[in-house]
Amino acid sequence: MEYSLVCHSLYALWSSPVKKKLILLSIMFLIWVYMLYSCVGYCSTMPSLVVDSYRGKETVSAVGKRTESGRTDLVSRLLAKPQPWEDIESDYEEPSIRTAASRDLLDNEMDMDRAEDWDEMREEQQRAPEPSAMSSFSNGSGSKKLPQAIIIGVKKGGTRALLEFLRVHPDIRAVGAEPHFFDRNYDNGLEWYRELMPKTLEGQITMEKTPSYFVTREAPARISAMSRNTKLIVVVRDPVTRAISDYTQTLSKKPDIPSFESLTFKNRTTGLIDTSWSAIQIGIYAKHLDNWLHYFPMEQILFVSGERLISDPAGELGRVQDFLGLKRIITDKHFYFNQTKGFPCLKKAEGSSKPHCLGKTKGRTHPNIDPEVVQRLRDFYRPFNMKFYQMTGHNFGWD
């Protein structure tokens, strides 16, 4: 009898049109609140944009702050007088006053870097997976911390691939876009920098990557001031191949730039290399490393081989995980080799069940370079490579 009364009451409640609408509205409101909470938690982990204005001389961040452009400052850092290398016999000369053409090219290269950042961010947003209910709640918790590890270089060495591979690890949270805090946006302050970071839980590592840090003279002191315990990762690659790749990137966006050969030499007849060209200067790894060793001990810097990152990604990722003090979770089972791209891809990207390869801005076909020019560059880099091998205690086999 009591059961019948309950059923009758529920039926009467549901059969009332007004009450039916109220119940439906209540259910919809609860669903809306849940979706809003999930969205807030997910969005808080998305990388914040740091976008350089192309029309004005200022930088605009996602949090609405504006600062004067670091273009002039960055140029001075890239062309800063390096430490003397008296123990290296080479025809290396300190960068002299740049010609108008080379200054324009450097400006173009910086614009290309910014455009590349945009391309990477668009790819990041396009492949961002829909969050599950559990991951949304998890992402909404935790706190934003300054990075404990930073990929500081080098440009066109394989830094994007390394970061994408590392993000598969559940104990690594990383910003997608390059913050450029320690070179372009330092005046914004550490709290601004912290806000760019994703939220992390206890035991997780916060990371970012900005390859230009390695060649920025002020970066070591600034990172050390943030934390002397910061772990640094440098992806290095054959400096000749790296320079050609650097040129290829610029050429893809600016087809009217001078030839690689004409930019390489100050004087083709004498064979004197133009070290003021950033594509050449970046590859003098020993010179840049010397600056970092004034602030960080060698044991806090890990050098990843860009070549082995392609031929043996699991092996290099194993070294990185050990360096970061993490369990080796990323293994061979996470990779497959893409014959078209010519480099490894992830079977399952972070937060996705689908395979993922780096975007169209990666793996460009290099132009044909005069073999004599390539050999001249190899001769130029050889003493610096030898010095670098000696400093790191590792022979990367570029000679």
Question: Which residues are known catalytic residues?
Answer: 156
Q: Tell me the angle at which helices 2-15 and 17-43 cross, rounded to the nearest 10 degrees.
A: 80
In contact, 233 and 302? CB cutoff 8 Å: yes
Q: Which of 279, 278, 263, 241 is nearest to 364 (CA)?
A: 241
Binding residues: 156-160, 237, 245, 362-366
CA angle 235, 106, 72 (to 5 degrees): 100
Cα distances (angstroms) measured from residue 344 to each of 3, 21, 67, 145, 245: 65, 55, 39, 31, 18
Closest CA to 156 of 50, 56, 269, 247: 247
Token pair of 113, please? 């870097």
What DSSP string describes 299-323?
A: GGEEEEEHHHHHH-HHHHHHHHHHH
For the chain, give the longest Cα–Cα distance.
Answer: 108
Kindly tell me the sign of the dihedral angle through the C-alpha atoms of 367, 373, 375, 380: negative
What residues contact residue 122 under an 8 Å CB cut-off, 6+ apart?
none
CA distance 44 to 238: 38
- The answer to whether the CB of 162 falls within 8 A of the CB of 304 is yes
Contact 321, 334 (CB under 8 A): no
Q: Are 197 and 144 in contact (CB under 8 A)?
A: yes
Residues at the annotated binding site for 3'-phosphoadenylyl sulfate? Answer: 156-160, 237, 245, 362-366
Place of tokens 């019948």: 4
State the DSSP code for 333: G
Backbone angles phi, psi at 340, to 5 degrees: -70, -50
Tell me how far apart the alpha carbons of residues 361 and 22 are, in angstroms, rounded to a whole number. Answer: 53
Task: Write the burial class of residue 323 (CB in 10 Å: 0-12 exposed, 13-18 middle, 19+ buried).
Answer: middle
